[in-house]
Amino acid sequence: MANAFQYLAQQRMNGGAEPVETPNHFCGCTLWLTGLSGAGKTTIATFVRDFLKANRIPAYLLDGDVIRQGLSVDLGFSDIDRTENVRRISEVTRLLADSGVICIAAFISPFQKDRAFARELHEIADLKFYEIHVDTPIEECKKRDTKGLYARFERGEITGLTGVDAPYQTPESPEIRLETVEPTVEETGLEVIRYLVEQGVLNQSVFEEKKEEHSEEEEVEDLEEKLAEVDLGENSEKSPQKRKFKKKTGKKKKDRR
């Protein structure tokens, strides 16, 4: 298997057409978010995906619940099934990263050996893999209980809940460790984006364009305030000048959405 992946990596480096330059220079990779149920993995992953897409960067989100309903519908929650689930996800993320997409995987993935397998699968194929530990204390996860799993466990309806009566092996040296108790979703999501810029996966322009867009909004708001201060007479609402401005600013706002 290793030789096959090394061959594919060499083909990608030496063969085929020249790479096409794309907006906000990027390269395919995998962001692997791991943490307890209720830690905030999917919420952060969704923010990152939406940010990337807003900047015209191909991104795809793989979520544990969705995968369980399709690709891994035949698997349970035994240790063996959990390992098989991560193995399947690892293969899919590698393929997406190889296609030039930033693949964002949000899975509990409790075992270190399984996450190491996912990393090795990417490294053999010369693809970047970033492990992100969403480090939310179990007490906070229980308070959130977004899926009601902790409440069901307390009622004795389920067993094998990761972090409670099933093990979760904390990542020893993840590329990023995110705390979610105090920081907002935007703050943690942008921490991931900044890391990708530092690693050369993204161009700094992803922040510059956002700043320019914000400046344009402020400019429109300033113009509206100035217009409100201008005395256009008794029929100001019917003034051609005011109607024209409203139509123009309305169009700009529509274009930015």
pLDDT at position 206 is 79
Q: What percentage of the chain carries pLDDT values higher than 70?
A: 71
Which pLDDT belongs to residue 118?
Answer: 97
**143 and 114 Cβ atoms separated by less than 8 Å:** no
Catalytic residues: 109
Best CA proximity match to 33, nearest among 164, 138, 130, 172: 130
pLDDT band at 203 (very low <50, low <70, confident <90, very high): confident
- Per-residue pLDDT band for 204 (boundaries 50, 70, 90) equals confident
Residue-wise pLDDT tens digits, 89-126: 999 999 999 999 999 999 999 999 999 999 999 999 99
- The residues spanned by each domain of the chain are 2-16+23-203, 207-256
Which pLDDT belongs to residue 210?
54
| Confidence category of residue 209, pLDDT binned at 50, 70, 90 | low
Instruction: Mention every residue, 6+ apart, whose C-beta is less than 8 A from residue 25.
Output: 202, 203
123 vs 255: CA distance, rounded Å:
41
pLDDT value at 244 more than 70: no
- Whole-angstrom distance, CA of residue 67 vs CA of residue 86: 10
CATH of domain 2-16+23-203: 3.40.50.300
The predicted-structure confidence for 17-68, as pLDDT tens digits, reads as follows: 444 444 445 679 999 999 999 999 999 999 999 999 999 999 999 998 899 9
pLDDT for residue 8 is more than 70: no
Mean pLDDT of the chain: 81
